[in-house]
């Protein structure tokens, strides 16, 4: 994955690994779309997919969402991996 700074996870839990990979893929998608100049609406939809994937991963790993995100925050660079 060229655009995502999220490192792969090492775990024996297949479900957690799947959710983490979905989060990495969603991060790759919005960053790639942004880099290739896709329309803002498409990029925002892809960022929303990242947020949903992140929330699913956090709920599986921690039992709750620990880090809240917004589309605007991610696009401004306020969300760090």
Q: Which two tokens stand for residue 24?
A: 């990495």
- pTM for the full model? 0.91
Q: Where are the domains of the chain?
A: 14-76
Give counts: helices (H), strands (E), the chain. Answer: 3, 0
In a structure prediction context, what are the per-residue pLDDT tens digits for the chain, which is 81 residues long?
A: 578 899 999 999 999 999 999 999 999 999 999 999 999 999 999 999 999 999 999 999 999 999 999 999 999 987 776
CA pair distance 61, 40, nearest whole angstrom? 31
Question: Is residue 32 within 8 Å of 2, Cβ to Cβ?
Answer: yes
pLDDT tens for 21-40 read 999 999 999 999 999 999 99
Those residues with Cβ within 8 angstroms of residue 21's Cβ, 6 or more apart along the chain or in another chain: 8, 9
């Amino acid at each position: 994955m060229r655009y995502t700074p999220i490192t792969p996870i090492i775990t024996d839990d297949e479900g957690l690994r799947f959710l983490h990979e979905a989060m990495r893929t969603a991060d790759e998608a919005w960053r790639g779309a942004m880099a290739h100049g896709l329309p803002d609406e498409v990029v925002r939809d892809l960022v929303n997919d990242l947020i949903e994937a992140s929330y699913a991963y956090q709920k599986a790993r921690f039992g709750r969402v620990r880090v809240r995100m917004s589309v605007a925050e991610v696009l401004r660079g306020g969300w760090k991996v």
